């Protein structure tokens, strides 16, 4: 894992920055992708300054081209266009989606992605239930479990990446069709954060 390049598509956002910080701190090779080169460089420099380990930024296309593992941290609305723009770089690679579909969407983001990316790409769906606020607070461990579903090869990498984050346990939670359950749970967490005036409610499995 340590020699692979992990590229975050839309890595300038809340979740992307949080994951990049934690993974750079764990000495992984991280690239920040954006629709705008300069924005990517600015965020990459912020992370570099915080961690003391170089993180670089570039366009989403360039990041997808040179990365071995591509983590999608973009909103559902942007998914189709972004995949179209990076699709030629995805053959034989690992793609991990953090994208949450709208609550009434018939298909999960994971299932829709399966139809958008090349057949040769290994797909996993993970990190939907992890709070970006918790990720950004490097003083504390991130107290939550991360369910991972999708293709075997991609799940293996997503599980490894999750467990690089202090406090996180990750579990194999089946095929990509189960992404719907995981994605929908995020809507519940958003509701609970509002209801209980919290910012990083998540969950842990018991009995495992």
Q: Residue numbers of the site for ligand NAP (CB under 6 A)?
A: 10, 12-16, 34-36, 39, 73-78, 81-82, 98-100, 127-128, 130-132
Please report how close the Cβ of residue 189 comes to ligand NAP at its closest, in angstroms. Answer: 9
Q: Cβ 68 to ligand NAP, closest distance in Å? A: 21
92 vs 103, beta carbon nearer ligand NAP: 103
Q: How far is the CB of 37 from ligand NAP (least distance, A)?
A: 10
Q: Return the number of the residue (36 or 205) whose C-beta is nearest ligand NAP.
A: 36
User: Which is closer to ligand NAP, CB of 121 or CB of 129?
Assistant: 129
Q: Which is nearer to ligand NAP, 92 or 188 (CB)?
A: 188
Report strand pairing: 122-125 vs 144-150.
antiparallel
Taking the CA atoms of 99, 26, 95 and 153 in sequence, report the sign of the dihedral they define: negative
In whole angstroms, how close is the CB of 132 to ligand NAP at the nearest point? 3
In angstroms, what CA-CA distances link 80 with 5, 29, 69, 74, 174?
A: 23, 26, 19, 10, 24
Closer to ligand NAP at the Cβ: 104 or 120?
104
Count of alpha carbons within 13 angstroms of residue 200, beta-carbon side: 17
**CA 97 to the chain's CA centroid:** 6
- Choose among 81, 94, 87, 149: nearest CA to 118: 87
Gap between the terminal Cα atoms of the chain: 25
CB of 143 to ligand NAP, least distance (A): 14
**Which is it for strands 94-97 and 5-9: parallel, antiparallel or unpaired?**
unpaired
Return the DSSP state at 82. Answer: H
**What backbone torsions phi and psi does residue 197 show, to the nearest 5 degrees?**
50, 55
């Amino acid at each position: 894992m340590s020699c692979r390049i992990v590229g975050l598509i839309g890595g300038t956002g809340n979740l992307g920055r949080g994951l990049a910080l934690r993974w750079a701190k764990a000495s992984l090779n991280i690239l920040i992708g954006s629709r705008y080169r300069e924005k990517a460089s600015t965020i990459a420099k912020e992370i570099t300054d915080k961690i003391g380990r170089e993180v670089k930024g570039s366009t989403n296309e360039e990041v997808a081209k040179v990365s071995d593992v591509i983590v999608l941290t973009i909103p559902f609305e942007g998914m189709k266009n972004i995949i179209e723009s990076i699709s030629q770089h995805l053959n034989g690679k690992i793609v991990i989606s953090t994208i949450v579909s709208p609550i009434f969407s018939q298909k999960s983001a994971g299932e829709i992605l399966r139809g958008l990316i090349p057949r040769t790409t290994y797909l996993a769906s993970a990190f939907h239930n992890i709070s970006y606020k918790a990720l950004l607070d490097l003083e504390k461990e991130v107290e939550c479990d991360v369910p991972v579903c999708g293709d075997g090869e991609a799940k293996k990498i997503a599980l490894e990446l999750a467990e690089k984050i202090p406090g996180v346990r990750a579990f194999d939670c089946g095929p990509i069709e189960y992404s719907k359950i995981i994605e929908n749970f995020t809507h519940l967490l958003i509701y609970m954060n509002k209801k209980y005036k919290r910012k990083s409610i998540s969950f842990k499995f018991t009995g495992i």
